[in-house]
Amino acid sequence: MTTSPPPAEQQHEEEEVLVPYGPHLELPNGAQPMEVVPAEPAATVENQQIEDPPISRFTWTIENLSRVSTKKLYSEIFVVGGYKWRILIFPRGNNVEFLSMYLDVADSGVLPYGWTRYAQFSLSVVNQIHNKFTIRKETQHQFSARESDWGFTSFMPLGELYNHSRGYLVNDTCIVEAEVAVCKVVDYWSYDSKKETGYVGLKNQGATCYMNSLLQTLYHIPYFRKAVYHMPTTENDMPSGSIPLALQSLFYKLQYNDSSVSTKELTKSFGWDMHDSFMQHDVQELNRVLSEKLEDKMKGTVVEGTIQQLFEGHHMNYIECINVDFKSTRKESFYDLQLDVKGCQDVYASFDKYVEVEQLEGDNKYHADKHGLQDAKKGVLFIDFPPVLQLQLKRFEYDFMRDTMVKINDRYEFPLQLDLDRDDGKYLSPDADRNVRNLYTLHSVLVHSGGVHGGHYYAFIRPTLSDQWFKFDDERVTKEDAKRALEEQYGGEEELPQTNPGLNNTPFKFTKYSNAYMLVYIRESDKDKIICNVDEKDIAEHLRIRLEKDREEKERRKKEKAEAHLYTIIKVARDDDLKTQIGKDIYFDLVDHDKVPSFRIQKQMAFAQFKEEVAKEFGIPTQFQRFWLWAKRQNHTYRPNRPLCPQDEAHTVGQLKELVNKAHNAELKLFLEVELGLDLKPLPLPDKTREDIFLLFKLYEPEKEQLRYVGRLFVKASGRPQDILPKLKMLAGFSQDDDIELYEEIKFEPNVMCEYIDNRLLFRSCQLEDGDIICFQKSSKADSADRYRFPDVPSFLTYIRNRQVSRL
């Protein structure tokens, strides 16, 4: 689980198909085998020198911790790699019920502009009773002026820290340790994994590094990748709802992308939400669930049985009586093996323990059918091993004395080549095929770095089984040597070099918290089939087309983002948009600008040229276009405010946007006024004088409980509402004999304000202005309140407003 929170100072308050052990395999009816071509050595793989960074250890003894009254506490300054560092803790938590602890650049305030440094480090709280229960967490960070501290907001529960029986606070003294390695990386963030290694990483969603290490391992088993590509999916499938398609998409991007790949589509296909992505899951459980789902999806297809062919082995559980002729056996399959680490020095010792014979005697005798209680021996032997052998190392176990889970950091060795036929096949059952050579070569080492309370996962992989190893650490892929991939992941203890050897000749040992927790071996006799070529012909055409379109769309968005400063977005609303939206999508105001046509226009384009673009889009010649600016009023309504004048239109689009928008990144929103004749052809626009008021009209029909937009009119400020009643009746399709009543829609936040308009008053006296909305309806009858739920405009709008609030 990745554990790096935002910096404390900023958030301070924080073909031929594989055969397991024989030459033949039956395929489902009608299925054709995948073609398998041995892979050629990767041309991009070359050895590189690995330079170990200087590592220093700093111990901070904090006395009287429970009496510390300050919110945060700094250690003394120590120097690593020529840089000054210190530890920062929040004794009562950084707004959480956990001890918060960070590594801090001590002199960040006086460093030159643009400084940066990269460090790998661990922070520990020492258990002073049992050192093996020390809590240690490890991470890495590129420190800068913006992020000068980094670490763990939730390092350990405060209840655990301040419980004196737990051993972290003894005599009110707490011991904190930091191990810091300053790496000489030219520019960590500009590092190009594809360019340097030929491979790309996976993005971490928050706590998905454990999944990333497993996915990289599976991807680099080419036969598995080929089988995933051959799973039937269709162009109508969506990756977020289909595990096969999501995995195909992920593998395709890992194979052809130039930068790191997101796993969000895959986790969505698992049914995970964002919360799940920030929770640590069990790697073995994820591996089994993923295998089961893929196995099920492969049934009835050309790749049916691939999971079993690659990963399934069988062992025999037996109980054999000593004094009578009775033996009970049971065959079981496995996809991975869990091997003990505690008490075992290496993989062979674990296998020895796995097949160790248990004697059933005394009070523990075996009840054999027809023979009663008998002395017997009980054990397990292997019938066959799979071509790809997955070994789960039991690094975590439950401590009954402490009633908690603990991590086993003991040294545990594993060989580059694993011979499971050793000692005359002592791991094999009598039924095993002795013609199969069970000699394996190491393909992957999955590592957990940290403690039982959290940590980080990454993988060392040999994609082509050459001498070159690669470290897959989320987004970053680096070349590594065999020592780093093997010996340094054994765990155990390591001696620190003495800084003052003349004063103290006793070497200081510390526990290595980074160690292997899963190993993947490939059988030598099957490696040419498993490490095969996978190219575009293995990928379904619809998938290639879909992913190529996705790639092109990503490139387009990337280009747009890079050129964003050169362009602006103009949203153009028209009468058609108001008619479409009012009464359906919206009721108040006039339009949802997210649903109107938008134009991406270069800022340097003359506005007159923009009008030509509008003419092409809507078929309205430029001489018949008049644009209005929108304005947000103090009552939180949004209305057309004023038409653009010739001086406005003389500007470029960018200049106009800057003039009318205070918000730097705001879009330019316009209303396009067009006059249409009876033949729906555009007409010359009337001149607008100071005396003219631009009003927009909505019609309410109580019998239908329906509100809709019917049009707009210019009225004279010196005129009266009764003067426009004939036009309104015509817009509504009413008889000229019908009586109508008018209301002004004033606002709807926080409450609806909709006032009756006296037809006899002057428009000026009604305080109407450009962009105001008039709602009208047939005059209410005396019995309207009994006939209709909402007999008038105010009652209907109040109902709509209350309905919207209740939905929130």
- In this prediction, residues 164-192 reach a mean pLDDT of 83
- Return the pLDDT at 54: 64
Token reading at 16? 């031929």
Q: Per CATH, which fold does 52-183 belong to?
A: 2.60.210
Please, which pLDDT band fits residue 38 given cuts at 50, 70 and 90?
A: low
Residues 6+ apart with CB under 8 A from 564: none
Residue with tokens 């050309």: 302
Tell whether pTM > 0.85: no
| CA 406 – CA 394 distance, rounded (Å) | 11
DSSP H or E segment with residue 575: helix 575-581
Cis peptide before 386 (omega within 30 of 0): no
Q: Which residues pair with 361 in a beta bridge?
A: none
Give the phi and the psi of residue 622 in degrees, each rounded to 5.
-60, -30
pLDDT tens digit sequence for 257-280:
888 998 888 888 877 654 443 344
Q: Per CATH, which fold does 692-807 belong to?
A: Ubiquitin-like (UB roll) (3.10.20)
- Return the pLDDT at 227: 92
Would you give the DSSP letter of residue 605? Answer: S
Token reading at 694? 């631009």
| CA 202 – CA 220 distance, rounded (Å) | 13
Q: Which amino acid is at 465?
A: L
| CA 94 – CA 97 distance, rounded (Å) | 8
Which range, of 48-62, 616-630, 709-723, averages the lowest pLDDT? Answer: 48-62
Residue with tokens 């992941």: 489
Residue 774's nearest CA partner among 713, 696, 693, 707 is 696
Which range, of 322-336, 532-546, 739-753, averages the lowest pLDDT? Answer: 532-546
Tell me if 103 sits within 8 A of 180, measured CB to CB.
yes
- Return the pLDDT at 557: 85
- Return the pLDDT at 275: 45
Asked if residue 185 has pLDDT above 70, the reply is no
Domain covering 563-683 assigned CATH 3.10.20.90 in the classification:
yes
pLDDT tens digit sequence for 562-610:
888 889 999 999 999 999 999 998 999 999 999 999 999 999 999 999 9
Token reading at 532? 């095969």
DSSP code per residue over 281-293:
--HHHHHHHHHHH
- Return the pLDDT at 506: 56
Tell me if 472 sits within 8 A of 445, measured CB to CB.
no
Which amino acids are annotated catalytic? 209, 456
**What region does 713 belong to: left with phi over 0, alpha with psi -120 to 50, or beta?**
beta
- Return the pLDDT at 382: 97
Q: Which amino acid is at 29?
A: N
Token reading at 262? 């997101």
| CA 495 – CA 498 distance, rounded (Å) | 9
Asked if residue 808 has pLDDT above 50, the reply is no
Which range, of 336-345, 411-420, 518-527, 556-565, averages the lowest pLDDT? Answer: 556-565
If one compares 48 and 699, the residue with the highest pLDDT of the two is: 699
Asked if residue 660 has pLDDT above 90, the reply is no
Please, which pLDDT band fits residue 281 given cuts at 50, 70 and 90?
A: low
| CA 689 – CA 673 distance, rounded (Å) | 16
Identify the three-state secondary structure at position 385.
Answer: coil
Which range, of 421-425, 495-499, 550-554, 628-632, averages the lowest pLDDT? Answer: 495-499
DSSP code per residue over 675-727:
EE-TTS-EEPPPP--TTEEEEEEEEEETTTTEEEEEEEEEEETTS-GGGGHHH
As a whole-number percent, the residues of the chain with pLDDT over 70 amount to: 87
| CA 728 – CA 722 distance, rounded (Å) | 10
Instruction: Give counts: helices (H), strands (E), the chain.
Output: 22, 39
Long-range contact set of residues 652-655: C-beta below 8 Å, sequence gap at least 24 = 652/603, 652/604, 652/605, 652/606, 652/607, 653/568, 653/570, 653/601, 653/602, 653/603, 653/604, 653/605, 653/606, 653/607, 653/610, 654/568, 654/603, 654/604
Asked if residue 723 has pLDDT above 80, the reply is yes
- Return the pLDDT at 664: 52
Please, which pLDDT band fits residue 509 given cuts at 50, 70 and 90?
A: low
pLDDT tens digit sequence for 431-480:
899 999 999 999 999 999 887 777 788 999 999 999 999 999 988 999 99
Asked if residue 208 has pLDDT above 80, the reply is no
Asked if residue 142 has pLDDT above 90, the reply is no
> Dihedral of the CA atoms 691, 692, 698, 699 (nearest 10)?
80
* Mean of the per-residue pLDDT values of the chain: 85
If one compares 536 and 596, the residue with the highest pLDDT of the two is: 596
What is the residue extent of each domain of the chain?
Answer: 52-183, 563-683, 692-807
Identify the three-state secondary structure at position 226.
Answer: helix
Same fold flag, 563-683 and 692-807: yes
| CA 738 – CA 200 distance, rounded (Å) | 73
Token reading at 84? 């000054």
Which range, of 29-33, 135-139, 795-799, 800-804, averages the lowest pLDDT? Answer: 29-33
Which range, of 176-180, 238-242, 317-321, 513-517, averages the lowest pLDDT? Answer: 238-242
Q: Which amino acid is at 263?
A: T
Would you give the DSSP letter of residue 320? Answer: E
E strands along 197-310, which residues?
Answer: none
- In this prediction, residues 736-753 reach a mean pLDDT of 92
Tell me if 162 sits within 8 A of 99, measured CB to CB.
no
| CA 609 – CA 622 distance, rounded (Å) | 10
- In this prediction, residues 204-210 reach a mean pLDDT of 75
If one compares 20 and 74, the residue with the highest pLDDT of the two is: 74
Token reading at 276? 């799940």
If one compares 803 and 46, the residue with the highest pLDDT of the two is: 803
| CA 169 – CA 158 distance, rounded (Å) | 11
